Amino acid sequence: MTSEPEATGLRLLVVDDEEQILELLDLTLTMQGYQVCTASGGPQALAVLECQSVDVIIMDVLMTPWDGFETVRQLQSTVHPLPPIVFLSGLNRPDSMPEFGSDVVVDYLLKPFRPSELMVVIDRTWATRRQTSQED
């Protein structure tokens, strides 16, 4: 028996340049009760966030034309406040993870992962953002 995610109904933006991964994450997260919109790369993510707000961004690290880290830098200049971000990558977490500032909540999930692991990370990231917002 699986438990419902703590944050069912959260609005998620999933960003990945691999269409199959994007579709799989969209389907999986929608079935778990999340509201999902997708973007096939950094520039499209920026366009989506200019017209709608989301609660959490799920983003691949290795993308073109902007990788996930560059996408965050681009978003920081236009999206305020920046939603918490969960990076997905087949590579181990880099030793020198970019510092995006104290106001940006970031988590990292190594591929391959189980859907339940992703939901735990999404919920944890959202809870961290809520806690940070309450402390301000």
In the chain, where the domains are located: 11-93+100-135
Strands 35-39 and 11-15: parallel
Render pLDDT for 102-115 as a digit per residue (tens, 0 to 9): 778 889 999 999 99
90 or 29: which leads in pLDDT: 29
Contact 121, 107 (CB under 8 A): yes
Q: Measured between alpha carbons, how far is 82 from 101 in angstroms, rounded to an integer?
A: 11
CA angle (2, 125, 60) in 5-degree steps: 90
Asked whether residue 70 carries a pLDDT value surpassing 50, the answer given is yes
Radius of gyration of the chain measured on its C-alpha atoms = 14
- Written out in words, the top-level CATH class of the domain with range 11-93+100-135 is alpha beta
- What are the helix (H) ranges across 54-136? 68-76, 115-135
Judged on CB neighbours under 10 Å (0-12, 13-18, 19+), 51 is exposed
Asked whether residue 41 carries a pLDDT value surpassing 90, the answer given is yes
pTM: 0.88
| Bridge partners of residue 39, in order along the sequence | 15
pLDDT for the residue numbered 91:
79
